[in-house]
Amino acid sequence: MIVVALIALLTTIVLPSYQSSIRKARRADARSALTYVAQLMERLNTEKNSYMTASLGSAATDLYKAATENGYYALNLSKTATTFTVTATPSGNQAQDPCGTYTLTQSGLRGASLPVEQCW
Protein backbone atom coordinates (compact mmCIF):
# COMPACT_ATOMS: atom_id res chain seq x y z
CA MET A 1 0.00 0.00 0.00
CA ILE A 2 2.88 2.36 0.78
CA VAL A 3 4.46 1.63 -2.61
CA VAL A 4 1.20 2.47 -4.40
CA ALA A 5 0.88 5.71 -2.44
CA LEU A 6 4.48 6.59 -3.24
CA ILE A 7 3.99 5.92 -6.95
CA ALA A 8 0.81 8.03 -6.96
CA LEU A 9 2.65 10.87 -5.22
CA LEU A 10 5.55 10.76 -7.67
CA THR A 11 3.13 10.66 -10.61
CA THR A 12 1.31 13.77 -9.43
CA ILE A 13 4.63 15.59 -9.14
CA VAL A 14 6.40 14.31 -12.27
CA LEU A 15 3.53 14.17 -14.79
CA PRO A 16 2.76 17.93 -14.89
CA SER A 17 6.46 18.70 -15.27
CA TYR A 18 6.74 16.20 -18.12
CA GLN A 19 3.68 17.64 -19.88
CA SER A 20 5.09 21.13 -19.50
CA SER A 21 8.36 20.03 -21.10
CA ILE A 22 6.50 18.46 -24.01
CA ARG A 23 4.48 21.66 -24.60
CA LYS A 24 7.68 23.70 -24.43
CA ALA A 25 9.33 21.51 -27.09
CA ARG A 26 6.30 21.86 -29.36
CA ARG A 27 6.41 25.64 -28.89
CA ALA A 28 10.05 25.60 -29.99
CA ASP A 29 9.01 23.76 -33.17
CA ALA A 30 6.34 26.38 -33.87
CA ARG A 31 8.78 29.24 -33.35
CA SER A 32 11.28 27.55 -35.64
CA ALA A 33 8.62 27.11 -38.32
CA LEU A 34 7.63 30.79 -38.08
CA THR A 35 11.24 31.88 -38.42
CA TYR A 36 11.71 29.61 -41.42
CA VAL A 37 8.67 31.04 -43.21
CA ALA A 38 9.86 34.59 -42.45
CA GLN A 39 13.26 33.78 -43.95
CA LEU A 40 11.63 32.34 -47.08
CA MET A 41 9.42 35.41 -47.44
CA GLU A 42 12.39 37.75 -47.14
CA ARG A 43 14.36 35.77 -49.68
CA LEU A 44 11.45 35.74 -52.12
CA ASN A 45 10.81 39.45 -51.51
CA THR A 46 14.41 40.15 -52.47
CA GLU A 47 13.88 38.35 -55.76
CA LYS A 48 10.39 39.70 -56.58
CA ASN A 49 10.50 43.04 -54.76
CA SER A 50 7.09 42.35 -53.20
CA TYR A 51 5.70 39.97 -50.61
CA MET A 52 2.47 39.68 -52.57
CA THR A 53 4.06 38.08 -55.62
CA ALA A 54 6.21 35.79 -53.50
CA SER A 55 5.03 32.20 -53.55
CA LEU A 56 6.52 29.75 -51.11
CA GLY A 57 5.73 26.80 -53.37
CA SER A 58 6.78 23.34 -52.26
CA ALA A 59 8.85 24.72 -49.39
CA ALA A 60 5.63 25.93 -47.78
CA THR A 61 3.98 22.57 -48.28
CA ASP A 62 6.89 20.83 -46.58
CA LEU A 63 6.84 23.37 -43.78
CA TYR A 64 3.10 23.11 -43.20
CA LYS A 65 3.38 19.34 -43.08
CA ALA A 66 6.21 19.56 -40.56
CA ALA A 67 4.40 22.03 -38.31
CA THR A 68 1.07 20.24 -38.43
CA GLU A 69 2.30 16.68 -38.82
CA ASN A 70 1.08 15.73 -35.37
CA GLY A 71 -1.62 18.37 -35.31
CA TYR A 72 0.05 20.61 -32.71
CA TYR A 73 0.12 23.89 -34.70
CA ALA A 74 -1.57 25.19 -37.81
CA LEU A 75 0.41 27.77 -39.80
CA ASN A 76 -1.17 30.66 -41.65
CA LEU A 77 0.51 33.28 -43.83
CA SER A 78 -1.17 36.58 -44.61
CA LYS A 79 0.62 39.05 -46.83
CA THR A 80 0.35 42.31 -48.71
CA ALA A 81 2.85 43.90 -51.10
CA THR A 82 4.88 45.36 -48.23
CA THR A 83 4.03 43.25 -45.16
CA PHE A 84 3.43 39.72 -44.01
CA THR A 85 2.37 38.01 -40.81
CA VAL A 86 2.92 34.34 -40.09
CA THR A 87 0.70 32.82 -37.42
CA ALA A 88 1.02 29.50 -35.63
CA THR A 89 -2.22 28.48 -33.91
CA PRO A 90 -2.11 25.60 -31.43
CA SER A 91 -4.48 22.71 -32.00
CA GLY A 92 -5.11 19.27 -30.63
CA ASN A 93 -3.34 18.58 -27.33
CA GLN A 94 -1.32 21.77 -27.73
CA ALA A 95 -4.49 23.94 -27.70
CA GLN A 96 -4.31 24.03 -23.89
CA ASP A 97 -0.91 25.71 -24.00
CA PRO A 98 -1.10 29.06 -22.15
CA CYS A 99 1.14 30.76 -24.73
CA GLY A 100 -1.55 30.26 -27.34
CA THR A 101 -1.06 31.70 -30.81
CA TYR A 102 2.35 32.86 -32.04
CA THR A 103 2.85 35.56 -34.66
CA LEU A 104 5.86 36.89 -36.53
CA THR A 105 5.86 39.87 -38.91
CA GLN A 106 8.20 41.10 -41.65
CA SER A 107 9.73 43.57 -39.21
CA GLY A 108 10.59 40.78 -36.74
CA LEU A 109 7.81 41.73 -34.32
CA ARG A 110 6.93 38.66 -32.29
CA GLY A 111 3.63 38.08 -30.55
CA ALA A 112 1.97 35.54 -28.28
CA SER A 113 -1.07 35.31 -26.06
CA LEU A 114 1.11 35.69 -22.96
CA PRO A 115 3.96 38.21 -22.73
CA VAL A 116 6.53 37.49 -25.42
CA GLU A 117 9.32 37.08 -22.86
CA GLN A 118 7.53 34.07 -21.34
CA CYS A 119 6.74 32.31 -24.60
CA TRP A 120 9.48 33.17 -27.10
DSSP code at position 107: T
**Residue 17: inside a domain, yes or no?**
no
- Write the burial class of residue 12 (CB in 10 Å: 0-12 exposed, 13-18 middle, 19+ buried): exposed
**Residue 91: inside a domain, yes or no?**
yes
* Whole-number pLDDT of residue 105: 93
Domain range holding 39? Answer: 27-119
Pick the closest to residue 55 from 64, 45, 68, 65 (CA basis). Answer: 45
As a whole number of angstroms, the longest Cα–Cα distance in the chain is 70
* Whole-number pLDDT of residue 66: 55
CA distance 86 to 105: 6
**Residue 18: inside a domain, yes or no?**
no
* Whole-number pLDDT of residue 50: 84
**Residue 48: inside a domain, yes or no?**
yes
Mean pLDDT of successive 10-residue stretches along the chain, which has 120 residues: 84 84 87 86 85 66 60 84 89 86 91 81
**Residue 5: inside a domain, yes or no?**
no
Pick the closest to residue 60 from 43, 79, 81, 77 (CA basis). Answer: 77
pTM: 0.76
* Whole-number pLDDT of residue 106: 92
CB 57 within 8 A of CB 44: no
* Whole-number pLDDT of residue 15: 82
**Residue 1: inside a domain, yes or no?**
no
**Residue 96: inside a domain, yes or no?**
yes
Q: How many structural domains is the chain composed of?
A: 1
